[in-house]
Chain A
Amino acid sequence: MNDSPDTDARHRALDAHWRSPPGWRSLSAVNHTAMGRRFMVAALCFFLVGGVLAMLIRAQLATSHSGFLDSELYSQIFTMHGTLMMFMFAIPMLEGFAFYLLPKMLGSRDLAFPRLGAYAWWCYLFGGCILLGGMALGLAPSGGWFMYTPLAGSRYTPGINSDIWLIGITFAEISALCGAVELIATILKMRAPGMSLARMPIFAWYMLITAGMILVGFPPLILGSILLELERAFGLPFFTVDLGGDNLLWQHLFWMFGHPEVYIIFLPAAGLVSTMIPTFARHPLVGHVWVINSVVAMGFLSFGLWVHHMFTVGIPQLSLAFFSAASMLVAIPTAIQFFSWIATLWNGQVRLRLPMLYLGGFLFIFVLGGLTGVMVALIPFNVQVHDTHFVVAHMHYVLIGGAVFPLMAAAYYWMPLLSGRMPAARMGAAGFWFVFIGFNLTFLPMHLTGLLGMPRRIFTYSEELGWDLLNLLSSVGGFVQAIGFGMFLLDIVLHARKGNLARRNPWQAGTLEWTLSMPPPSYNFISIPEINSRYPVWDTPQIGAQIRRGEGWLATYPPPTRQTLSVDVLTGDPRSVIHLPGPTWVPLYGGLATGVFFLSLLFKTYALAMVAAFVTVSLFVVWVWQLAPKGFPARVDAEPGVDLPGHWAASGSPGWWGMACSLAADAALLGSLMFGCLFLSLYAPHWPPPERLGFDALAHGVLVAALIGLCLTAVVASKRTALIMWQAARLACAVAALVVVGVLIARLGSPSQHAYTALMLVVLVYMSIHLGVSLIMSLYAMARGVVHKNAVGGEELRVQSLWVAFTGLSGLGLTVLMLSLGGST
């Protein structure tokens, strides 16, 4: 930062805007660097807890007839191990990397929605604390990380153990969804000028697809968790066979999430690999377009595999064959990526630095996991090894090989950026060999243990079965692995504090984050560069100096606010200047209020839950009100000779994309709900129900008219003319529809009598929540129209109209569903 006095002055001025407050007030930080670090540190803590639990499991299974743990405690431990590793470590750690790296790679000063990122972190932290708190009190869930019913239902697990899982996980999943919305809007809209999709870093492509998968993949589990919690708390019989429910519904909803989840974990890690390998090969990624093609293909195909976890439950043969075919198909895009990495190394001049060691481990282990993946895609083999330790071994080869090894490589690779210091080879290499040998010693014999018939989730076994030696080997390997992880962590911590200072771009990498100083300043880029290639640092070596001299965009001195650029999604042409918010306590308060809501549900204090929900919604309204422009939006000098509008005055803003992504997740939830209704009505025993809602011409007529009215106002009311009038019309439609929904709920009768009434209650509550939010939005827009008349922009109304249109259309779809399931009165 000492290139010239001018640069110093710019640095001080930008830092004054962007730096996070010190001390305890840093809890109000919203900056992506702080959030990324927090996600990573918290995920690491959860990983350590999950790792200790794994050691307890291995200690128990080391010998036959072990009395170290009893059955219940063992069940809690393996459930918590899986839950923490899948939900609290893998995805948050990868999201943390993405939060931290993406703006720096893309040429942005922050993520699209800093407050949302902060809220996501608080939700994640509080959700994780609920789970850990339950475990500390001996109330940990014990039904396995997939919580199958009826075992997880109130009959067989009567305490609050399952509730802790359902509520803690749902809470944490809000975080993942917020993170996904944030990442998509950032990747599509907040890149450096000239960074078209063709020039976008490969890691951003991976994260774009992953975030899209989170939006579609997580809602089925959220719905499943809500339904199971409703059954446990209020007796709504979604999974009770005698009353029209079906346990297979849970399995479908869980694995619609659960299988894509594996790819949601693997793809970001593969994105890290695709970023690191070209650096050490000193060669651009071979087959860049083929790799993107493979990532998109995996994103889609991974949603066609969920039933391969259910091959043994009695689904018709042809349906199984569809899923088996798709399961084998997904190996092709995976292989394309592998060949691309090998070809990049083959064509380049490879430098064997420390991260490459871990990448080598990844390539070896993940290939083995992929091969056993093709084996379990075959129905006859799958039936043989179903629920055995073979599956445990396969899963760990895929997940540790596919995610943990790349993450360890990435930790060393980006350490100079994170800490400003360099790693050293000796201890890191020793740690690698401990982990690598320990891992294979743990899980390679486990394939054999599984083939010999050892089931998963058993806390002891008989000596006569002959599994002792293999299990002992696995346990010894587990502890060797743990020593390796300990060495890795110690090495990272020591070198991050005491290692040699890193110079700029120590690995001679090609991506934009390496133009920054080590560690980077709070605002990332003193000026935002124009990008002309996929590897800007390789192709324009002087780009770093140009950035520091303020020769890029948004280099105005003094900078007026926290500003960064918004660009065209496809071409990367500049479109507007985004004004981002600074530190605030609102996300923390929002997280706390949401936490109180979930805890109230857990302890069945529903009045308090209602209050907490009201406070949460109120905080969101305050949040949006604070961010809304209060005056006529001015254009901004983005570069000498270039004017750009503020983001609220440009169409296709990050806010619009944020709402569109949120609605995509909402649509996935709606689709899952409709699937649940159809599945139970077609397949569950004890249907049709004894009583149905029936058709009421007046009620349904008013409902349909009001919903169509909402859709019409969504089309018309996105213009600023006659704002109050159109909002009033929208309000009237929402109120009318809400009244009818209330009447239908009152007519339903007891929702615990049959799965049909329970489902209809959920459908009507879903509609009423959407109508309620539309109503609040209309009141908000009217208030804005009165208080800040000239400041209400068309984009603001378009964002609102998206929600209203979705409410109208989803309501109409659900009305059709209700009528088709309703029969005659």
Chain B
Amino acid sequence: MKRVFGPGEPAYQTGPTLWRVIAGFIVWAIAFLLLYVGHAVACLHAPTQADTAAVSAGLVVLWLALLAITIVLAVRSQRCRRAVGAKGGHQSRFSWRLTLLLDLFAAGAVVLTGLPLLVVPACMS
């Protein structure tokens, strides 16, 4: 009997999709854009000192929220990696390990990218 590959075959245990693998850095990219564009646009409408303080506070909240997302992603990756364990296929183990590393790295990148919020006032030319 012939083996038949193609659509309709049962799915393999393949681990995360490509989108999931890079999800952490997609969040970093969104964080970077929102902080940069958000700061630029908000400062156009923040003529007073109190307004700029509000801009800073808003950006910090945004930053922490996006950091939380990357942390959640990393925690979930770690759980999946553990669940796959030694029983999973080589591809699945590799993919979850890579995903976890990328999630952790992205979380670190979000932290470092947003750190200036704590030391540089918003809207200062």
Chain A residues at the B interface, C-beta cutoff of 8 Å = 196-199, 289-290, 292-293, 296-297, 299-301, 303-304, 314, 316-319, 321-326, 328-329, 333, 568-576, 638, 641-645, 650-651, 682
Contact = CB atoms under 8 A, between A and B. Distances in A.
Contacts of B15: 570
A333 B43 CA distance: 33
B87 interface: no
Contact of A297 (B97, B102, B115, B117): B102
Contact of B116 (A297, A322, A573): A322
A644 B6 contact: yes
Given A292-B98, A682-B44, A300 B25 contact: yes
Nearest to A324: B116
A300 B28 contact: yes
Contacts of B120: 317-318, 321
Contacts of A642: 2-5
A325 B6 contact: no
Contacts of B75: none
Interface residues of B, number: 52
A208 B124 CA distance: 40
15 contacts: A289-B94, A289-B98, A296-B22, A300-B25, A301-B28, A316-B122, A319-B40, A322-B36, A326-B112, A329-B109, A574-B5, A641-B2, A642-B2, A650-B7, A682-B40
B77 to A, nearest CB: 12
Given A319-B40, A650-B6, A571 B12 contact: yes
Contact of B91 (A198, A323, A328): A198
A197 B124 contact: no
Given A289-B101, A322-B36, 5 more contacts: A296-B102, A319-B40, A321-B116, A571-B91, A642-B4
Nearest to B16: A570
B102 to A, nearest CB: 6
A157 to B, nearest CB: 30
Contacts of A322: 32, 35-36, 39, 113-114, 116
A290 B101 CA distance: 8
A319 B39 contact: yes
B9 to A, nearest CB: 8
Contacts of B40: 316, 319, 682
A618 to B, nearest CB: 34
Which one of A199, A304, A333, A641 has the highest number of Cβ atoms from chain B below 10 Å of its Cβ? Answer: A304
Main secondary structure of the interface of A (DSSP, over half): helix
5 nearest A-B residue pairs (beta carbon): A321-B116, A198-B94, A196-B91, A300-B25, A293-B101
A575 B43 contact: no
B29 interface: yes
Nearest to A212: B22
A774 B110 CA distance: 40
A301 B94 CA distance: 23
B32 A318 contact: no
Nearest to A569: B18
Nearest to B25: A300
Contacts of A574: 5
B3 A326 contact: no
B70 interface: no
Nearest to B9: A573
A576 B8 CA distance: 13
Contacts of A318: 39, 116-117, 120-124
A372 to B, nearest CB: 20
Given A319-B39, A329-B112, A644-B5, A293 B102 contact: yes
A86 B105 CA distance: 30
A322 B31 CA distance: 11
B90 A196 contact: yes
Contact of A571 (B4, B6, B14, B114): B14
B92 to A, nearest CB: 9
Contacts of B32: 304, 322, 326
A324 B40 CA distance: 16
A573 B91 CA distance: 11
A289 B115 CA distance: 28
Contacts of A569: 18
A198 to B, nearest CB: 4
A727 B43 CA distance: 48
A194 to B, nearest CB: 10
A317 B114 CA distance: 13
Contact of A304 (B3, B113, B123): B113
Which one of A289, A328, A570 has the highest number of Cβ atoms from chain B below 10 Å of its Cβ? Answer: A570
Given A316-B123, A569-B18, A571-B12, A197 B95 contact: yes
Interface in B71-111: 89-91, 93-95, 97-98, 101-102, 105-106, 109
Contacts of A641: 1-3
Nearest to B98: A289
